[in-house]
Amino acid sequence: MTQDELKQLVGQAAADYVNANVPEGAVIGVGTGSTANCFIDALAATKHRYRGAVSSSLATTTRLQSHGFKVLDLNEIDSLPVYVDGADEIDHSGAMIKGGGGALTREKIVASVSDVFVCIADTTKRVDVLGQFPLPVEVVPMARTAIGRRVTALGGVPVVRVTKDGAPFITDNGNEIIDIKGLKIGDPRALEAQINAWPGVVTVGLFAGRGANLCLLGTDTGVETIQYPRD
């Protein structure tokens, strides 16, 4: 199967999971990226079951609304039974690197209030040690250089994310992203806490303190369901 076919496979599996486990009238949380888009497309057939969705990005909001979903502000809801999103990497504990699409801050906010975090990914995203995919860090622009020095001291290589025309990539929150290359992340929770404590960091794209509860992993033989114990 191609990677696109695997994404469609896990998108449908996530829609089936949500339809089977989330009560009618609930609000669902939806992530950002091509795999999350496959989930949105698959869930559209049963959108009438849900009061609406909380979106992690402007792009996801547009996708949801194009299918007729009502998009709610997180401040308008009391509970979020499930959050479905992809990952750039996921390890065997359910810790992830996310943020390749630039929506890491809103993704982390929505994930933090969900009861169940369902990661949807293909087998290329499962790794033994996080870090081959560059680790995104959303930063306040004035802190970019200072945070870059801290990254270098960690042994990483900071690269400011840019658009196709060479301008700094700007997140939905008006900030910039530094992608850290060259790290082998043996303790994702510790590194997440360390980087989040740096002044000027908005969010680091490590999802370890709040990792996945469940991964629906697309393989050539079907969808593998992996459960992760959470504290």
CATH of residue 142: 3.30.70.260
138 touches 175 (CB < 8 A): yes
Give the catalytic positions in this structure. 107
Which of helix, strand or coil describes residue 94?
Answer: coil
Q: Assess whether 15 and 111 both reside in one domain.
A: yes
Among 110, 111, 112, 137, residue whose Cα is nearest residue 195: 137
DSSP 22: S
Q: Which amino acid is at 133?
A: F
Domain that holds residue 165: 135-202
Residue identified by tokens 């630039």 is: 102
Task: Report which of 209, 99, 201 is spatially closest to residue 150, judged by C-alpha positions.
Answer: 201
CATH number at residue 104: 3.40.50.1360
Same domain, 168 and 110: no
Partners of 199 in beta bridges? none
pLDDT in tens, 140-196: 999 999 999 999 999 999 999 999 999 999 999 999 999 999 999 999 999 999 999
| 34 shares its domain with 119 | yes
| Same-domain status, 141 and 160 | yes
Annotated binding-site ranges for substrate: 32-35, 85-88, 98-101, 125
Backbone φ, ψ for residue 162 (5° rounding)? -130, 165
Residue closest to 204 by CA, chosen among 189, 182, 217, 219: 189
Angle at 119 between CA 158 and CA 208, to 5 degrees: 50
191 with 214, same domain: the answer is: no
d(CA 69, CA 5): 24
Q: Known binding site: residues?
A: 32-35, 85-88, 98-101, 125
Tens of pLDDT, residues 9-54: 999 999 999 999 999 999 999 999 999 999 999 999 999 999 999 9
Kind of pairing, strands 52-55 and 71-72?
A: parallel
Domain total of the chain: 2
- pLDDT, tens digit (0-9, with 9 covering 90-100), for 74-130: 999 999 999 999 999 999 999 999 999 999 999 999 999 999 999 999 999 999 999
Residue 92: the pLDDT is: 96
Residue 184 and residue 150: Cα distance in Å, rounded?
Answer: 16
